[in-house]
Structure 1
Amino acid sequence: MARKKSYKTEASRTLLDDILDFVKVFAISAIVILLFVNFIAHPVTVVGHSMDPTLQNGEYGFTSVISPMVSDPSRGDIVVVNQKNEQGETERWVKRVIGLPGETIECRNGKVYVDGVVLDESSYLKQDFIDEALAKYKADHGQQDYGTFNYDFSPVTLGEDEYWVMGDNRMNSKDSREIGPIKKDEIYGMGVLVLYPFNAMGVK
């Protein structure tokens, strides 16, 4: 009789029981997603062409928001920084770290120098892209000679908590060349995991 009673109890699950189970699973999943989005990674959409050709306008993915809390960015890292626009609203810019705390950054004849040594940017800035970008700019603006891909700026020595960031597309990027160095606490995320479009999927 005991077995029979147990069978009836198991079989007598109601629709309400199933709904409650579903709600529990849904609630736990929602909490996990919220924790992931707010404390581990956060969605990011690339807006504009300042990071061409590395990141394209409209690409969507995630940036690690926990990384800036546990480590310092290195030269060459892609970061998402918080900046205020003219309306006082916070915008998130995707840029590349060029200069680190204590270093002196400058640009002469289109070449970036770090502490007097030319910075090798060939891993993310290919000559083909530079030539194409210069040609396009000249054609779009009706200019015979634009100058260099990267305009010159005077030496800037970074403080102990300052970073110099720039877009890869130097002719189409608002960055430290205009706003100056950024503070560590302005770095919102590090790295971008592109999920869409699918043909661009990967960690940048």
Structure 2
Amino acid sequence: MEEIVSAIPATKKNSEVWGWIRFVLLLGLAFILINNMIGLTKVSGNSMNPSLQSGNILLMNKISLFFSTPKYGDVIVIKEQRLGFSIIKRVIGVAGDHVLIANGIIYVNGNQLAELYTVGKSEDLEEQIVANGHLFVVGDNRNLGESKDSRDPSLGQVQLQDVKGYAAISLLPMHRISKPLEWK
């Protein structure tokens, strides 16, 4: 009888230890999955005004990058190696597109973009053809000097491999991110 009584606490201890091990493993797995599928990023600066304000916290969707490439109107988070930090921009051109800015109006493949979510006026830009494996991105704030984007030769077109994820929603303050009314 004494053997049975002394065996119960050891079994209970083993059960508790395995319970904690399972908990830690599941927590680690959840962390890995969340870190590789979604993420949080903070907007810093005015380049995406009025759609996003400095200080907004964004939920980032990383998993969609495994199934598709960014398309027109998507707001993406880009890891910019030369700058040393991430930037948030809107995709207006994909591989093979012809992008032109004339009189402050952006044309893609000869069609004027319907952009009600922007402020300011873009500087004119000679027509560029978006290279394979690249995107042409701009900030929603088109005033000169407010957005470091593909219009700036120091950044230029962005490589697809540098896209960290899609800006899915603003969590703080909570709101959807503006999309174009008419887009390809």
- TM-score tier, shorter chain, comes to 0.7 to 0.9
Whole-angstrom CA distance in 2 between matches of 1:193 and 1:29: 25
Separation of aligned partners in 1, 2:12 and 2:31:
29
Greater helix percent: which structure?
1
- For 2:19, give the aligned amino acid: D
Which amino acid letter does the alignment assign opposite residue 157 of structure 2? P
Partner of residue 162, structure 1:
134
User: What TM-score, normalized by structure 2, do the two folds share?
Assistant: 0.79
* Secondary structure of 1:51's aligned partner: coil
The aligned runs of 1:31-110 (5 Å cut-off) are 31-37=29-35, 39-85=36-82, 89=84, 91-110=85-104
Q: How many residue pairs end up in the alignment?
A: 171
Show the 5 A alignment for 1:135-146: none
User: How much does 1:20 deviate?
Assistant: 5.0
Q: Which runs of 4+ in 1 moved over 3 A?
A: 16-20, 201-204
Distance between the aligned counterparts of 1:69 and 1:25, measured in 2?
A: 29
| 1:181, distance to aligned residue in structure 2 (A) | 1.1
Which of 134, 138, 148 aligns to 1:174? It is 148
1:21 counterpart residue number: 19
Q: Give distance in 2, aligned partners of 1:67 and 1:167.
A: 22
- Identical pairs, percent: 26
TM-score (norm 1): 0.72
Partner letter of residue 34 of structure 1?
Answer: I
Taking the aligned partners of 1:201 and 1:158, their CA distance within structure 2 comes to 31
Cα distance in 1, alignment partners of residues 20 and 45 from structure 2:
41
Listed as ranges, the gaps of 5+ residues in structure 2 are 179-184
Larger Rg: 1
Where structure 1 has 5 or more consecutive residues not aligned to the other structure, the ranges are 135-148
Q: 1:112 Cα shift?
A: 0.3
Aligned residue identity for 1:158: V
Secondary structure class of the residue paired with 1:99: strand
Post-superposition offset of 1:70: 1.6
Q: CA distance change for structure 1 residues 158 and 203 in 2, over 3 Å: closer, same or farther?
A: closer
Q: For 1:115, which of 109, 114, 121 is the aligned residue?
A: 109
Please report the RMSD computed on the Cα atoms of aligned residues, expressed in angstroms.
2.7
Displacement after TM superposition at 1:203 (Å): 5.9
Aligned to 2:182: none
